[in-house]
Structure 1
Amino acid sequence: MNDMEGRIALVTGSATGLGRAMAVKLAERGAEVIINYSRSQVEAEEAADLCRATGAQVQVVRADVAEPDGCRDLADAAGRRGRLDILINNAGITRHARDHSDLNALSKADFMDTYAVNVVGPFLMLQATKPLLVAAHGQSGRASAVLNTSSIAGIKGIGSSVAYAASKGALNTMTISLARALAPAIRVNAVCPGFIGTRWFKDAMDADAYAGTVSAIESITPLAVASGPDDIADAALFFVSDAARHVTGELMLVDAGMHLGKARP
């Protein structure tokens, strides 16, 4: 399916995990893709090769989305094509402090760093790319698509830390605010995953602990599964496709029903 042929897509934090999965799926559907990373150059090139294997044009840009200069560098990469049809704000960080009652587990710096990437970063990216997104709308007559990668943490107040949950809650609110403000030229939505089996979790625990986490997730989700990057990416790409052309300001939970809790037997 080449329904995105001719479109330019930029995915922040796309060297690994969900960002990589979304970038590859965009490439498979015909989009030209800009891969972004801040540290993982080898993995970013691997992601780019996966996209190129589909026949897509690919650029790889190192940039820190928490900094205005980094966001301008990414906008410049898209600017060389004269437009930007799709922006996915996927870059994110956390500070692991799962006992939310331990208020000494997080510092002011932890909060500021988390917000800088998870909240300020998407704002700066939109600030830098808005002219290109508007230009794409003018050329195609189709609203450009912005997708923010949020989390169930921003809705349920759960997850790796209070700072992370709070940052994703702020991102959700910003998604709604900007969807209203930037219409009709730009649509803004957010996908809110639950557990995703990526190194995000794996790096925070040993192999046995990770296996136990996967088993626990399967036991508490109504669909009895632990999601992987492709599962979330398939749902996420709905928002940047023409199927969602009349959708803006929406937050979609993709968590195998985790937010529902499991029915008692």
Structure 2
Amino acid sequence: MAKSGKVAIVTGSATGLGASCAIDLAERGWNVAINYTKSKKEADETYEAVKAKGVEAILVQADMGQDADCKKLAAETLKKWDRIDGLVNNAGTTKFQNQGDLDGVTPEDFDRILRVNVTGPYMMSRAVFPTMKKQWEEKQERGSIVNISSIAGVMGVGSSIPYACSKGALNTLTLTLARWFSPSARVNTVCPGFIQTRWLLGGMGEENYNKLKQSQEQTAPLRQAGTPEQMAEAVMFFLTSASNITGEFLIVDAGIHLASLPMKAR
């Protein structure tokens, strides 16, 4: 793949969906700023995988729940390449908690999850927007921002109540930013369902993870459990291809949101 000269930041890109997005962008010739908070070893591996595609990369440790760190990530990307064309707001957190256990969720849980999952994408988008605006005004080159939400933000179910609330709020943030960032940048959201990741396995435990995976494979209309690579395909659609789309959500869950509705024999 020939180098495109374009630059993207992918937050939380040490593992899972973030890593898949970084590698997919590199395969398309994009230079990539890889971000991590704690997973240095895995981030190094993603960095090497991106570099192996023949593009440039930087590795930046930054906490997406901190405004100063969001600004640092944008500044280091600009220092390296003097442009930012894309942003994938992938970094997120949760508390794995039975939604029926209302006493198991504290105000501190809400504060932490909302800060990383909602305020973080806002702060990161704010940090890159002046550059995207300048590129649009000077070169008619439009930026693209993709937020990683969740089916939890659409259906109201997920790893915890704060998590579902945060993803619903992220969907609303997408609409707001899409209005205010136009025409300089497009802003869209991907809402994954079940994804086969180490993060989900670690949070749920092996037994519950395997049960959910099996259920997905048996009940989803497409009869499959999603992979990070499949989710990255949807992100790439919004980030690199959908030039006339902004303010939209795309559910990527093998059709599981349809499973409770009557369906034709299959």
- Shorter-chain TM-score range: over 0.9
Q: Deviation at 1:120?
A: 0.1
Aligned to 2:125: 126
3-state SS, counterpart of residue 127 of structure 1: helix
Deviation at residue 256 of structure 1 after TM alignment: 0.4
Post-superposition CA distance 1:182-208 (Å, at most 9, x none): 100010000000000001211023433
Q: Does 1:42 align with 2:38?
A: no
Task: Tell me, yes or no, if the aligned pair for 1:159 and 1:165 is still in contact at 8 Å.
Answer: yes
Partner of 1:88: 88
SS in 1 for 2:22: helix
Who is 1:204 aligned against?
A: 203
Are residues 1:28 and 2:40 paired? no
Report the alpha carbon displacement of residue 78 of structure 1 after superposing the two structures with TM.
1.7
Partner-residue secondary structure (3-state), 1:60:
strand
1:139 shift after superposition: 4.7
- Per the alignment, residue 250 of structure 2 pairs with 252
* SS of residue matched to 1:204: helix
Which residue in the other structure is 2:194 paired with?
195
Q: Structure 2 matches for 1:1-265, cutoff 5 A?
A: 1-2=1-2, 5-80=4-79, 81-97=81-97, 99-241=98-240, 243-261=241-259, 263=263
**Alignment-mate amino acid for residue 64 of structure 2:** V
1:153 deviates by 0.3
- The Cα offsets for residues 3-49 of structure 1, whole Å up to 9 and x where unpaired, read as x7110100000000000000000000000000000001111010000
Aligned residues: 262
Per-residue CA distance 1:148-173 (angstroms, 9 max, x = gap): 00000000001100100000000000
Q: What does the per-residue CA deviation read over 1:59-83, in whole Å, with 9 as the maximum and x for residues that have no partner?
A: 0000011111100110111221222
Aligned-partner SS, 2:99: coil
SS in 2 for 1:203: helix
- Kept in 2, the 8 Å contact 1:100–1:161? The answer is yes
Instruction: Please state how far the C-alpha of 1:143 moved relative to its aligned partner.
Output: 1.4
Q: Distance in 2 between matches of 1:82 and 1:138?
A: 15
AA partner of residue 15 (structure 1):
A
> Which deviates more from structure 2 when the two are superposed, residues 213-222 or residues 109-118?
213-222
Q: Secondary structure at the match of 2:189?
A: strand
C-alpha contact (below 8 Å) 1:146/1:189 kept by paired residues: yes
Quick one: distance in 1 between partners of 2:204 and 2:152? 19
Runs of 4+ with deviation above 6 angstroms = none
Identity %: 42
Residues 221 and 7 of structure 1: is their aligned pair in 2 closer, same or farther, counting only changes over 3 Å? same
User: Does the aligned pair in 2 maintain the 1:22–1:233 contact within 8 Å?
Assistant: yes
2: distance between equivalents of 1:252 and 1:13?
A: 20
Ranges in structure 1 where 5+ consecutive residues have no aligned partner = none
The CA distance in 2 between the partners of 1:216 and 1:125, in whole Å, is 36
Normalised by the length of structure 2, the TM-score is 0.95
The verdict on how the C-alpha distance between 1:240 and 1:48 changes in structure 2, with shifts beyond 3 A counting, is: same
Please tell me the root mean square deviation across aligned C-alpha atoms, in Å: 1.4
**Equivalent residues of 1:85, 1:137 under 8 A apart:** no
- Separation in structure 1 between the aligned mates of residue 176 and residue 62 of structure 2, nearest angstrom: 26
User: What is the rounded CA distance, in whole Å, between the counterparts of 2:204 and 2:127 in structure 1?
Assistant: 36
- Please state whether the residue corresponding to 1:49 is helix, strand or coil: helix
Q: Is the Cα contact below 8 Å between 2:86 and 2:143 reproduced in 1? A: yes
Q: Distance in 2 between matches of 1:122 and 1:39?
A: 18
Amino acid at match of 1:114: I
Letter in 2 for 1:221: A
**1:264 to partner: Cα distance:** 7.3
TM-score normalised according to structure 1 size: 0.95
Does 123-132 or 8-17 show the bigger shift?
A: 123-132
